[in-house]
Structure 1
Amino acid sequence: MIKKHKIFTGESDNFTIIGVVSRLVDYKLCFHINNALNIGLKRGSDISVMAVKAHEVQHFPLFRYYSEQYKNNWILIPNKNPNKDILFADLQPIDYFFFIDEFPSLLDIKDLMRTFKNIPEVTLVQQIKPQASKRINHILQDIEIYLLSQNQKKEM
């Protein structure tokens, strides 16, 4: 049986995006998120994105969890990579972006954000609307490409 793959259509409606401000380093934040939400974010290979001004590929750490229960991906990406490149310059106060593909209707976004706010060293949590940055749709396309490439690697 052939596996079906979703293709991103350029619409950001499929993703819920939460911005997180925290002094924690990425792996420590993931540890706290995993404990708070009872999930298993794990470091994957870096995601490649095209820089706006430099016209070069930049790489950002990506932490991913696939929920068997909800059949969706939960992804954490820092706004700044180890080279100090910035993913969303226009959303620079935000340190991390938490992307949820196909947000489950059984969950409440406000409860999820409250859970994030209770994590030590998290100072701000806010839902990010797709209109907040010109780059969001481009990054969402990069995430879709990343997920498709990871699925293809699993199938090999």
Structure 2
Amino acid sequence: MAKKISLKLGYESPFTVFSVFTSEKEYRLAWLINQQLGIELKRIADYSHYFSESQSGYFPIYRHHYKQYRMQMFLLGNKGEEGPIVNSSPVPDFLILFWNRSGLFDLKQFQKDVKKIQQVQTLVELNQKTLAKHEDFFYGLEYFLTEQKVI
């Protein structure tokens, strides 16, 4: 009798994701992060997220390319008129996403530096359970960024 083989397909996100809680607008937060970290977050085309067939929303997104680490960082607005993209409790105001994060990049120092910004209430790394719950979003975002030719 032949042995049964099962194939499980899944999406593994290339992103390391942090939720940011602040009352600042996206352009102001991007400027504050630029000042604190000495980087250049620049706005790119808004990300269009589909909540359903008839409902979608546009979310501001900023990008910084760390050439020395060959990785990219994105600041994405999470709250829109239609609702949040990542709906965890509490709902984050923004997401900071690292694409293709290098092991040489000091993530702990990054967290400390962002938390030093007075207007940032807190910065928390999203756990794997939350990421898995939103894998459609991460797949869509990766596709969007590929189309924009930024990754």
Amino acid at match of 1:147: L
Q: Percent identity?
A: 24
Contact 2:55–2:82 (CA under 8 A) maintained in structure 1: no
Show the counterpart of 2:24: 24
Structure 1 residue matching 2:40: 3-state secondary structure: coil
Count of residues in Structure 1 that have an aligned counterpart in Structure 2: 141
Amino acid at match of 2:32: H
Quickly say closer, same or farther: Cα 1:84–1:119, change in 2 above 3 A.
farther
Distance 1:26 1:151 in 2: 22
Show the counterpart of 1:6: none
Structure 2 residue matching 1:119: 3-state secondary structure: coil
Q: Which runs of no fewer than 5 residues in structure 2 stay unpaired?
A: 1-9
Q: Which runs of no fewer than 5 residues in structure 1 stay unpaired?
A: 1-8
Q: Which has the larger radius of gyration?
A: 2
Show the counterpart of 1:111: 109
Distance 1:26 1:112 in 2: 19
Show the counterpart of 1:60: 59
TM-score (norm 2): 0.82
Contact 1:90–1:133 (CA under 8 A) maintained in structure 2: no
Deviations 1:107-137 (A, max 9, x none): 2222111111101211111111231255432
Q: Post-superposition shift, 1:139? A: 1.8
Amino acid at match of 1:36: Q
After superposition, the CA RMSD in angstroms is 2.1
TM-score (norm 1): 0.80
Distance 1:127 1:133 in 2: 10
